[in-house]
Amino acid sequence: MTGKSRKVEFLYLNQDEVIQCGALDMAMVMERIEHLFTLHEKGETIVPDKITLRWGDAASEAVTGRINAMPGYVGGDVDTAGIKWIGSKPMNPSNYGLPRASALTILNDPETGFPISVMDGTVISAMRTGAVTGVAAKHLARKDSRRAAFIGAGTQNHTQLLAVTTAVPDIEEVYICDISAERVDAFLETETAKHPGRSFQGTTSAEEAVMGADIIVTATTSLKPIVKADWIKPGAFLANVGNYEFEFEAVEAADKIVVDNWEAVIHRGIQTVAIIVNEGRMNRDRLHAELGEITSGKRPGRENNLETIYFCAVGMGAEDIIVGRRIYEEARIRGIGTWLTLWNNPVWI
């Protein structure tokens, strides 16, 4: 809305249109996410705590799911506010033939507060979550990493795999582990053809997957630890994407602990490092850095090949906003999407 105009419109983008505008371009998404972390370190973001709507306690999420509200503002050259509203229902695939997650991303003009775009946020959410691990791997994984293990054969590890291989392109061996052999087989069927030249192995044994891995990514809804300290190779990069997936000793033995947002990780309280802190076994003094300190050059990332580095990300709504803004800009340039009228004439009640 400009000048004296009373008409308020916003651009609606469905999932196909979001994809047409580049949402599946992992290199682009990682570039945006790295920029976001640098802006965050400079104090140019606003990241309120994630609000979780659940039907029970935290443990119930594995069955009844949750809906998260994740607002944020990204300043600097982005200057956009917004929110991701994302539902996660684990029983959707088996009960309804629907994906586990569904999301909307809303972008707002920070000056007027009015919405400028509403778009499907499901692909953006999955891609930016993978991209966070990819950015971390770029700075924290060994450059000569050859073997990667992914625990969990659900939707999220598809984008984790894409991000890790984008960040560390010399990965030769990929292990996929899940408690369901069916999910492992489905994952391998989808991904093997996308990665010619890489060897893929599927297993239901986490130990088999993890032993000898240079990069270990866990993306599950587990309520008890999966990865044991004794399985971890010195110099490995560990990415705790899901819940309580690494045993305490694995995190406590790490040479460096890095998170995306310390306060948000502890507030969420479900990942291994947060549980350790909340049980009084660790405090912030043990933290090496937040990821933005590393992307901005204030703190070092990996300094030698023997460092075992643990990374934990809880996710921030600002990540969806910065990627959504790029999608919106591309849609405007290409004339993609549908303009919807919010107000023709304001009615004050």
How is the chain split into domains, by residue range? 8-125+317-343, 132-312
- Beta carbons of 39 and 80 less than 8 angstroms apart: no
Q: Which two structure tokens, joined as six digits, stand for 195?
A: 């990665």
Torsion sign over Cα 69, 321, 291, 174: positive
pTM score of the predicted model: 0.93
Q: Which two structure tokens, joined as six digits, stand for 342?
A: 């919010």
CATH assignment of 8-125+317-343, among 3.20.20.140, 3.30.1780.10, 3.40.350.10, 3.30.70.120: 3.30.1780.10
- Strand 8-13 with 115-120, pairing: parallel
CATH assignment of 132-312, among 1.10.1660.10, 3.40.50.720, 3.30.420.10, 3.40.640.10: 3.40.50.720
Beta pairing partners, 189? none
Which residues carry out catalysis? Answer: 84
Beta-carbon contacts of 335 under 8 Å, excluding residues fewer than 6 positions away, are: none
pLDDT, tens digit only, all 349 positions of the chain:
445 667 899 999 999 999 999 999 999 999 999 999 999 999 999 999 889 999 998 778 878 999 999 999 999 999 999 999 999 998 898 899 998 899 999 999 999 999 999 999 999 999 999 999 999 999 999 999 999 999 999 889 999 999 999 999 999 999 999 999 999 999 999 999 999 999 999 999 999 999 999 999 999 988 899 999 999 999 999 999 999 999 999 999 999 999 999 998 998 888 999 999 999 999 999 999 999 999 999 999 999 999 999 999 999 999 999 999 999 999 999 999 999 999 988 776 5
Which DSSP state fits 331? Answer: H
Torsion angles phi and psi, residue 133, rounded to 5: -65, -40
